[in-house]
Structure 1
Amino acid sequence: MSCDIDTAMIMAAGHGTRMRPLTNDIPKALVKVNGKAMVDHAIDRVKAAGISRIVINIHAHADKMRAHLEARNDDSIIISDETDALLETGGGIKKALPLLGDKPILTHNCDSIWIEGMGATLPRLIDAFDPAEMDAMLVLAVTASIVGDVGRGDFTMEADGRIEWREPRSVAPFMYTGVQIIKPQLFADIDEQAFSTTKVWRTLTEQGRAYGLRHDGIWMHVGTPQALDDTEAFLRDL
């Protein structure tokens, strides 16, 4: 049974250290891909999926991020201000809990760019998420169809969609794309203020409550200047 998803959180607070020197004076979320800021790619994708509320966290170069978002003149965008401290992905969600509501939310890393496959990824994800069986559902890309840094992959996936972490000193066929649906209340009782969402996923995989959705297009991880060059070259060749 699918769930109505009306709120998304775009993760845009990071320093973008690996993207330097492009992020010396602007946040990573404002680095342009094909002439368009990464955060705008994410906002437009989320809005196209019918999401009516978009929370965006800001930290690095917060004044420039705030000005950019306010210039959109979009009442659906709500800023979660993390200028006092960098909280990582999990801590960012925890701080934003008063803005997110109680229902499952979609989260979207700002550096996640993709080309759709047979169907639109976000509607597929929303349709597939079953809150009775799942606490999180991650969009996973096959490592062979990724433009950018792949590493050793992140997860294996069972036939029913349940995911498991890659074993140490091994490789895995799937990589997290930076997009998921997750229940925000999972972050409420974690004592730390700054922590990665990985902390929540590890508990969920042990409980069999974490699932994956295979992305059937091409995913581009725009995390470095070289990955940005590779992404733009790939998009030019389409």
Structure 2
Amino acid sequence: MTTRPKTAMVLAAGLGKRMRPITDTMPKPLVRISGKTLLDWSLDSLARAGVDKAIVNVHYFPEQIVSHVAARRAPRVVISDESERLLDSAGGIVQALPELGGAPFYIINADTFWIDSGVPNLARLALAWDTAKMDILLMLADLQSATGHSGGTDFLMSPDGALRRSKGDPTGLIYAGAAIVHPRLFRDAPAGPHSLNAYFDAAIAAGRLFGMPMHGQWITVGTPDAIPLAEAAVAAALAGSPGTLAELTSPFTEFK
């Protein structure tokens, strides 16, 4: 029986420079798409996956995020304060390790989200997790199911799910901003700013980076002109699956 992660790291401390002028007065995770903040899209997905505690790191306009999440019931939010120094993706996780605990946990980027099709993708990710052979399991999207993505692909996946860098290969897949990671990966990690990319490469070298293609529509919001595209994608996805609307507007309904 698969044990689903009960904790998560939500990466919400970035400066959101490409989202200016919107982010001149607010942090990017509080930008709203179809009436819901990017941060709440992430937290609601975690709630449906049965996550009890989410650590949210903050740096830019931190007080706005702290105020916004104060009333949330599920998951319970713990703030990891990076006000004095932005720690980048891996550095933020290392600082939060005492709160994340010793079991595998989710990592979610607060500037991407998705509309599930069928079984929620985070539940599928947990079912695909294998502690014995994996250090990292990435959720992946193909170019056809992505909205707002202006870059290329990130990884090529072998038949057993093992990943390697795609190096621009158009047949590859995109890292969809959600993963499960085992905390042993950070055993000798330095404190201070550094990126998750180095850990991806180390896991590739060790044969312990794996991927799972997601089901549904993946949406990334990097610039102001991506907002209407994102809202159109949400509307189209909901029109195609009316039952999904109730799930998305009931953030505390856990997938069973």
Q: What TM-score, normalized by structure 2, do the two folds share?
A: 0.88
| C-alpha separation in 1, matches of 2:70 and 2:185 | 30
Does the 8 A contact of 1:141 with 1:175 survive in 2?
yes
Could you tell me which residue of structure 1 aligns to residue 209 of structure 2?
210
Instruction: Say how many residue pairs are matched.
Output: 237
Q: SS of the residue aligned with 2:137?
A: strand
Amino acid paired to 2:184: Q
Q: SS of the residue aligned with 1:96?
A: helix
Q: 1:191-219 deviations in whole A, cap 9, x for unaligned?
A: 35111111101000111101000012110
**1:22 Cα deviation (Å)?**
1.1
Does the 8 A contact of 2:52 with 2:75 survive in 1?
no
Label 1:170 to 1:44 Cα distance change in 2 as closer, same or farther (>3 A). closer
Q: What TM-score, normalized by structure 1, do the two folds share?
A: 0.94
Does the 8 A contact of 1:150 with 1:175 survive in 2?
no
Does the 8 A contact of 2:43 with 2:75 survive in 1?
no
Could you tell me which residue of structure 2 aligns to residue 84 of structure 1?
84
Could you tell me which residue of structure 2 aligns to residue 146 of structure 1?
146
**1:118 Cα deviation (Å)?**
3.4
| C-alpha separation in 2, matches of 1:92 and 1:213 | 24
| C-alpha separation in 2, matches of 1:73 and 1:129 | 27
Does the 8 A contact of 2:95 with 2:191 survive in 1?
no
Q: 1:81-126 deviations in whole A, cap 9, x for unaligned?
A: 1111111110100111111111110011111211112321011001
| C-alpha separation in 1, matches of 2:38 and 2:97 | 24
Label 1:179 to 1:74 Cα distance change in 2 as closer, same or farther (>3 A). closer
**1:21 Cα deviation (Å)?**
1.0
Amino acid paired to 1:220: I
**1:5 Cα deviation (Å)?**
1.2
Q: SS of the residue aligned with 1:220?
A: strand
Amino acid paired to 1:186: L
Matched, 1:223 2:202: no
Does the 8 A contact of 1:143 with 1:150 survive in 2?
no
Percent of pairs with identical residues = 36
Matched, 1:199 2:198: yes
Does the 8 A contact of 1:2 with 1:131 survive in 2?
no
Structure 2 residues without counterparts, runs of 5 or longer: 240-256
Could you tell me which residue of structure 2 aligns to residue 67 of structure 1?
67
Label 1:130 to 1:74 Cα distance change in 2 as closer, same or farther (>3 A). closer
**1:79 Cα deviation (Å)?**
0.7
Does the 8 A contact of 1:11 with 1:107 survive in 2?
yes
| C-alpha separation in 2, matches of 1:48 and 1:192 | 32
**1:145 Cα deviation (Å)?**
1.4
Q: 1:23-78 deviations in whole A, cap 9, x for unaligned?
A: 11110110001111111111111011111111111110011111111133667111
| C-alpha separation in 2, matches of 1:46 and 1:75 | 7
Could you tell me which residue of structure 1 aligns to residue 12 of structure 2?
12
Amino acid paired to 1:183: H
Q: SS of the residue aligned with 2:123?
A: helix
**1:166 Cα deviation (Å)?**
1.6
Does the 8 A contact of 1:155 with 1:165 survive in 2?
yes
| C-alpha separation in 2, matches of 1:75 and 1:164 | 33
Provide the alpha-carbon RMSD of the alignment.
1.6
Amino acid paired to 1:39: L
Does the 8 A contact of 1:7 with 1:106 survive in 2?
yes
Does the 8 A contact of 1:56 with 1:77 survive in 2?
yes
| C-alpha separation in 1, matches of 2:87 and 2:171 | 28
Label 1:198 to 1:75 Cα distance change in 2 as closer, same or farther (>3 A). closer
Label 1:62 to 1:102 Cα distance change in 2 as closer, same or farther (>3 A). same
Could you tell me which residue of structure 2 aligns to residue 119 of structure 1?
119
Amino acid paired to 2:210: Y
| C-alpha separation in 2, matches of 1:105 and 1:222 | 24
**1:170 Cα deviation (Å)?**
4.2
